[in-house]
């Protein structure tokens, strides 16, 4: 029922704008409004804060179905989870009430600020600092590659509170868009997910109350990594949706397109491509859903399974979307058809929330 209702909504309210959102590189406001109206913008927020209380698997299905028609739009529920999960996992009860309630209502989105210009895969090498000043913390630094920056109201920011301790000297804070000293860089000009703004976040003497720290001092990096164990699965879901959208479109196309007097779907070479695409998507789906169940239960092997799902599903998405473009031939290479957009969108799933090379390191360190 959940899948059917999200698919119907995505087809009716999100799909019609997907090409324009990509072409104009603009935030998918129509998708945002439709998701908020149907309480699908942040389904993971617990019911106690006015949220839908969806479990990890339900969240995955929502993201998958939105990504099937528009990858940029699927980053609304995905990044709302990424940005707010540190507060859910480690924040005080007061902090949760203060920020989960407006998030659940749709009054503000949540972004996640970990990466920096010189700290990408080596996130512990960050330079952003937070210095204690009485009942306040003062933050200074630059965060890069921040999804939905400038649109989101709330930001989970990782900053160094004790430079001597490397990863154990990093703390997490909630910063608000309206805090004095917060500003944003120009939107990045990207290959794909053009409807999701990616910008730098500048923190210039941003003074925030001490109770905006998420968890205890020095636990920020551990919270950031724990968050990614859960949210990598949402990227797997996004990749899965993109791949499914590409297969669905290609499947319809090859039945219509005639060459040598018959539909190209009748040729075995084409059939084998479709069979491989469907098989790999199904394998990615099973891995992703199993990882989502582990995320919900908090299983010991979640770190491995989350990395495996993200890595496998994103590699499948890149392969399947590339094959979809091939199946459409010259038409696939034009912007008149959606598969070239899907191919461009798929690429980022192999890069963000930890490159697939980093996922392989994570898996190797956590072999079951």
For the chain, where are the alpha helices, taking DSSP H only? 2-9, 15-24, 29-37, 56-67, 71-90, 93-105, 220-256, 268-297, 302-327, 339-349, 356-365
Is the Cα dihedral 34, 94, 202, 164 positive or negative?
negative
CA–CA distances in Å: residue 109 to residues 29, 60, 82, 86, 226: 12, 18, 11, 14, 21
Place of tokens 């929502």: 62
**Which residues contact residue 152 at a Cβ distance below 8 angstroms, ignoring those fewer than 6 apart?**
79, 83, 108, 109, 110, 111, 177
Separation of alpha carbons 288 and 236, rounded Å? 6
279 CB neighbour count, 10 Å cutoff? 11
65 is a catalytic site residue: no
User: CA-based Rg of the chain, rounded to a whole angstrom?
Assistant: 21
Separation of alpha carbons 150 and 177, rounded Å? 7
Separation of alpha carbons 200 and 1, rounded Å? 39
Place of tokens 């703004």: 197
Among residues 174, 180, 99, 112, which one has the least CA distance to residue 145?
Answer: 112
| Active-site residue identified among 64, 65, 340, 353 | 353
Tokens representing 280 are 């790999």
Active site residues: 353
């Amino acid at each position: 029922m959940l899948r059917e209702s999200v698919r119907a909504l995505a087809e009716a309210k999100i799909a019609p704008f997907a090409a324009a959102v990509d072409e104009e590189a603009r935030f998918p406001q129509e998708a945002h409004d439709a998701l908020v109206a149907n309480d699908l913008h942040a389904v993971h927020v617990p019911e106690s804060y006015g949220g839908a209380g969806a479990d990890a698997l339900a969240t995955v299905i929502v993201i998958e179905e939105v990504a099937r028609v528009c990858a940029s739009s699927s980053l609304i529920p995905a990044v709302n989870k990424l940005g707010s999960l540190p507060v859910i996992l480690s924040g005080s009860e007061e902090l949760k009430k203060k920020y989960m309630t407006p998030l659940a209502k749709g009054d503000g989105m949540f972004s996640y600020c970990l990466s920096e210009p010189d700290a990408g895969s080596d996130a512990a090498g960050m330079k952003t600092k937070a210095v204690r000043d009485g009942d306040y913390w003062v933050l200074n630094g630059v965060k890069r590659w921040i999804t939905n920056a400038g649109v989101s109201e709330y930001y989970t920011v990782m900053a160094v509170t004790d430079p001597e301790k490397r990863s154990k000297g990093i703390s997490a804070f909630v910063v608000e868009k309206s805090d004095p000293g917060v500003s944003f860089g120009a939107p990045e000009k990207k290959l794909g997910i053009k409807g999701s703004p990616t910008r730098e976040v500048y923190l210039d003497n941003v003074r925030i109350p001490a109770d905006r720290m998420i968890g205890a001092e020095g636990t920020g990096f551990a919270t950031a990594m724990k968050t990614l164990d859960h949210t990598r699965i949402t990227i797997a879901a996004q990749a899965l949706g993109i791949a499914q959208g590409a297969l669905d479109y290609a499947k319809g196309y090859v039945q219509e397109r005639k060459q040598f007097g018959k539909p190209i779907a009748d040729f075995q070479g084409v059939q084998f491509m479709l069979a491989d695409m469907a098989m790999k998507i199904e394998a990615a789906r099973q891995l992703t859903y199993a990882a989502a169940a582990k995320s919900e239960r908090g299983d010991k092997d979640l770190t491995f399974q989350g990395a495996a799902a993200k890595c496998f599903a994103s590699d499948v998405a890149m392969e399947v979307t590339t094959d979809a473009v091939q199946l459409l031939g010259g038409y696939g290479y034009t912007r008149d058809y959606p598969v070239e957009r899907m191919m461009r969108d798929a690429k980022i799933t192999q890069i963000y929330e930890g490159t697939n090379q980093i996922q392989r390191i994570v898996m190797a360190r956590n072999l079951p």
